[in-house]
Amino acid sequence: MATRIIVGLALGPAFLAALFFLPPIALAVLVALIAGMACFELLRAAKVAHHNGMYIVSGLAAVLVPLGHGLGFGSWTTRAVALLLMAALFLPALRRYGTSGEIRFEHIIVCLFGGIGVPLFLSALVQLKRFDNGPFFVLLPVICAFTTDIGAYFAGVFLGKHRGVTQVSPNKSLEGFAGGILSGCLFMLVYGLLVQYFGGVAVKFPVMALYGLLGSAVTELGDLSFSLIKRQCGVKDYGTLLPGHGGMMDRFDSTTFAAPALLLLVEILPAF
């Protein structure tokens, strides 16, 4: 756990620089790189064949979707990339059907999820940047995912008694899940105080508590969902890129769920 925290803190400055000090497109480029690597790791975990170009077209799609949002053409780019990716996946599948190199439908679905679904969800970070006080909004899912993870870990270690809530992660306890949600709520309120004090922005604290409650619950769902994929694929981690975390997909699994959820909440009920 200590290594995970150290690596997370080391990545923080790069993210904050893209968020506060670099041109807006910098965040889109960063998210595009994350999405591209996460897509590759997901396809590799699912054992998608390398020889038919599915990694290339899916990874390219994963990069283009966040960039399109960064340039202000998110909706158009997502539709165009989705159509092109489906064509690039199904046309070879039609040609190879009945041969030894047949492309399985489940691999096509994995490619669509990795090439469109994951980057589209992560692109919520880019969309949050476009709001007034956007940098503060972008940090919502990041802080929520990070603090929920830490709270769940320590609550599980020191208080966890009722384990086996789900066989996807049998060591996780009911107390750990509750601790993660409470931690997310608490730190979201602390973050609200910091935004109000240092950012000079009026913050609605009941709304921040709602962000923490729902955001943490969705964060834990995201973590378990991508753990399910790993279990069914028979891998421990998606990769080894980040010491203590695994791969890029291991680090941003919960953010993939939390970012679009908090984007929706911000659109419906802005806290500042």
Q: What is this structure's pTM?
A: 0.92
Tokens of 68: 């399109």
What is the residue-averaged pLDDT of the chain? 91
Mean pLDDT of 254-258: 96
Whether the pLDDT of residue 50 is over 70: the answer is yes
Three-state secondary structure string covering 16-85: HHHHHHCCCHHHHHHHHHHHHHHHHHHHHHCCCCCCCCHHHHHHHHHHHHHHHHHCCCHHHHHHHHHHHH
For range 234-246, the mean pLDDT: 80
Q: 36-40, 74-78, 163-167, 168-172: which has the minimum mean pLDDT?
A: 163-167
Are the C-beta atoms of 189 and 217 separated by less than 8 Å? no
pLDDT at 263: 98
Per DSSP, 104 falls in state P
- pLDDT confidence of 8, banded at 50, 70, 90? low
Q: Are 152 and 166 in contact (CB under 8 A)?
A: no
Interatomic CA distance for residues 51 and 147, integer angstroms = 40
Q: Is the pLDDT of residue 3 over 60?
A: no
**pLDDT attached to residue 190:** 97
Tell me the per-residue pLDDT of 59-103, one tens digit each, with 9 for 90 and over: 999 999 999 999 999 999 999 999 999 999 999 999 999 998 899
Mean pLDDT of 120-131: 96
pLDDT, residue 16, reads 81
The candidate with the shortest Cα–Cα distance to 254, out of 209, 229, 228, 218, is 218
Instruction: Tell me the C-alpha distance between 220 and 185, whole Å.
Output: 13
- Measured torsion, CA atoms of residues 124, 239, 29, 189, in degrees rounded to the nearest 10: 40
pLDDT at 15: 81
pLDDT-derived band at 206 (thresholds 50, 70, 90) equals very high
Q: What is the model's pLDDT at position 23?
A: 84
Question: Using an 8 Å Cβ cutoff, are 263 and 128 in contact?
Answer: yes
pLDDT band at 243; cut points 50, 70, 90? low
